[in-house]
A and B are shown apart, each in its own frame.
Chain A
Amino acid sequence: MQTLSDPLRAARVAVRSGRFRDAAVALAELPPEAREAPEWYLLSAMAAWRLGDFEFSRKLALEARARFRTVGDADGEMRGENVAAAGAFGLGDLAAAEQGFARATELAREIGDDLMVARCSNNLGNISLYLARHDAALGFYRAARAGFERLAFDHGIAETWINTAITARDLGRYADAAAASDRALEAADRAGSNRLLGEALSSRGEAMAALGEAAVGRAQVERGLALAQAEGDKLAEADALRILGNIARGEGRPAEAERLARQGLDVATLLRHPWTVAEIRRDLGELYVALRRPADAAACFRAAEAAFRQLGSTPRADAMRARADEAEATP
């Protein structure tokens, strides 16, 4: 009989509590027979993804999916599909990620896993946003939010509002972005999550600054940065630094803007997060355009283009190429 003192338990607990390096070590040290279980592949895939090895994670997840399917475990198959899609997402294979999340959604619907349906919908929204399909992204976030509402899952609700705010900002609809960030703040408060509160504050601060409330916006992003640093959320830290750089640029302090952006770029590069790297490069490029440093601007736009292309975000990559060409044509 399978018991809970099974060999995978330590790794499972480590994954659940976010100790991914410990999980990877525990999984690697298991005897060969334990490494045949579909769950071994799934847990290894999850650990590898969180440790940034997307290629390995995807291979493991696909193997897990196949093994779960062989034994007729629909739930396991769905989880394997989801992690494989996340791996594809990390690698910038957006088409594969989109297909994978869509399949995982269907499987989750079949077995009635509402939480997974909502999470997949949120992920599909992120893919649509990367591909600049804004209406589709907003639709996925709305559907995900409705699912999270059904489960009264405030963490998920806050995340979908933050993503909605980012989408509105991307469209230049700053009042909508501020309103969505407001909703994210309410949900983050209810969830009692400082990590989400920090992200929502940075998002709101960015929108407020764009609406002409630079001092208020800066104070909000500074608080968002402090919360991100306290929570050890490096991605949110990099984004907050990017936004603070933009606000400094808007307030006429280019040296500070460049310093903050570079600081954010260092954090994002260490994380190997192409979306944040691309956004910071793009904003830095715009700063150099304003400073009449066309060669530096073009280099930044080219780097942003490469990062967006790595993500499979062709429309954004093309837009960056156009900006680079414009900068290079500037005497």
Chain B
Amino acid sequence: MTATPALAVIMLSDSFSSVWGDLAGELGVHLATLAPDDEPPPHAVATVLAAGGEEERALDVLPALAARARGPLFLVGARTSHRFAVEALRRGATDYFALPGDLDLMRRTLTARLEAGSERARRSGERVVDPFRELVGESPALRATIDKAARVLAHRDVTVLLGGETGTGKELLARALHDGGPRAGGPFVPVNCAAIPAQLLESELFGHEKGAFTDAHRAKPGLFEEADGGTLFLDEIGHLPLALQGKLLRVLDERSVRRVGGTQVREVDVRIIAASHVELAAAVRRGEFREDLFYRLNVVQLVLPPLRERGDDIVLLAETFAEQLARRYGMAVPRLSREAKAALERHRWPGNVRELRHAVERALLLSPTGSLDPAELAPAGDIPQATPQEAGRIPFPASLTAVLHAAARAALDLHAGNKSAAARQLGISRSRLQRLLDREDINDADLE
């Protein structure tokens, strides 16, 4: 059962007493009138200390009340002095409103708190169940990762490096670590380093001052500042340019950022969770990733297993997705036939959980109502696809052309289709990689 949110009011005086009932009614919350020593209710959207004419006494009461209040604590009085407002804030008030002038401002502040707070409350309500609930599965491989993750949950600042192939659920795990940990009340800010053009990444992460570059018409805080008090999830961190790797290392060491074009150093309280689908240690060996940063990030390493190694989880996940998606599309929850289950287990799922979810969605939308067509789940004649690790293993005897082609394909798979990265890894040009992929045009130079 969900408790109705309350507006908790502690009346030190009768001034403005008619306001609170109306205000609670307008906000759609329950009004709880308390004595100064009472414990504020757990579902209070805010606690208001009403002190018109009793402002000095309010200042005395504030520190103890601030220690007990579970949400924002507003002091309401009649004094309009700026100095008094500052003193109220210094003693623990979240804000000070001088009535009647600030009545509308107070109403809007409470509305905004309520709007955001209702979603936050719902999320935190879910959180107590199990932060890892989105990582569905019972396989030993997955459980081992979750067990290890659970052991770092309580640590507020520990940096975590997540590994695992594309589509295994790295962001879900990062969010679980945030939601289940001490920073849950702060923001979780995910950033895909591969999705932001390299020339923009610095100002996106660290912010910029007005005039720092041609298009910087106004100052902008970076994502580090936006994540203050919470977690910054740096996905595909292997794509971070070397110059920025140094800057990230400084932020981690000094816990402060300086915007592009700025001189002011701003303290930030951010926990970093980084992820990469490629092995960062290999990138270090190739000189593409700073070793010091790698060790700074790799305090705790968690690796999510590929779906093909998760046995019965495949069917369990498919059933879970079928149920969720049927609800989304307003359809009956379909049944998974024996043939459908067999098709699911036969497939290699190179795109992992994400691929499985899309396959279930496709089958749900295209199969006859009430069932999932095995052909839509995993097409007939589905040739087991080589995993990045297996791609290098080609049957012998093989021609040198086949070996080169296989190497090109394996590098491309390893870098999720990024040809520049694949070429870099093979130590060849992008155009030469393209020739190897095209296969029919392999010339003598490629065979040397």
Contact = CB atoms under 8 A, between A and B. Distances in A.
Interface of A: 1-5, 9, 13, 16, 39, 71, 73, 75-76, 79, 102, 106, 113, 115, 135-136, 138-139, 142-143, 145-147, 149-155, 176, 185, 189-191, 197, 201, 213, 215-216, 219-220, 223, 226
A85 B213 CA distance: 26
A139 B111 CA distance: 28
Given A154-B119, A176-B195, A220-B365, A146 B223 contact: yes
Contact of B26 (A13, A75, A189): A13
Contacts of A16: 111
Nearest to A118: B226
B115 A150 contact: no
B366 interface: yes
A191 B115 CA distance: 11
Nearest to B324: A189
B218 interface: yes
Which of B119, B197, B230, B330 counts the most chain A CB atoms within 10 A? B119
Nearest to A164: B195
Interface in B178-199: 186-189, 191, 195-197
B366 A216 contact: yes
Contacts of B128: none
B386 to A, nearest CB: 21
A131 to B, nearest CB: 12
A2 B365 contact: no
B105 interface: yes
Nearest to A72: B101
Contacts of A146: 187, 189, 223, 226-227
Interface in B300-338: 328-330
Nearest to A71: B101
Contacts of A1: 16, 99-100
Contacts, number: 103
Given A113-B112, A197-B328, A219-B365, A102 B187 contact: no
Nearest to B22: A4
B366 to A, nearest CB: 6
Given A142-B191, A153-B119, A115 B328 contact: no
A139 B191 CA distance: 11
A223 B329 contact: yes
Contacts of A139: 200, 203-204, 220
30 contacts: A2-B100, A4-B26, A4-B103, A13-B26, A79-B108, A102-B217, A115-B112, A115-B115, A135-B200, A136-B215, A139-B203, A139-B204, A142-B223, A145-B189, A146-B227, A149-B187, A149-B188, A149-B189, A149-B226, A150-B187, A151-B119, A152-B119, A153-B115, A153-B116, A185-B328, A190-B123, A216-B361, A216-B365, A220-B365, A223-B328
A194 to B, nearest CB: 10
B34 interface: no
B23 interface: yes
Q: How large is the interface on B (under 10, 10 to 19, 20 to 34, 35 or more residues)?
A: 35 or more
B366 A215 contact: yes
Interface in B342-384: 361-362, 365-366
Interface in B88-133: 99-101, 103-105, 108, 111-112, 115-116, 119-120, 123
Interface string B406-420: 000000000000000
Contacts of A102: 217-218
A152 B123 contact: yes
A277 B226 CA distance: 36
B18 interface: yes
Contacts of A219: 329, 365-366
A79 B108 CA distance: 11
B445 interface: no
Contacts of B229: 150
Interface in B206-257: 215, 217-218, 220-221, 223, 226-227, 229-230
A199 to B, nearest CB: 13
A4 B19 contact: yes
A5 B215 CA distance: 49
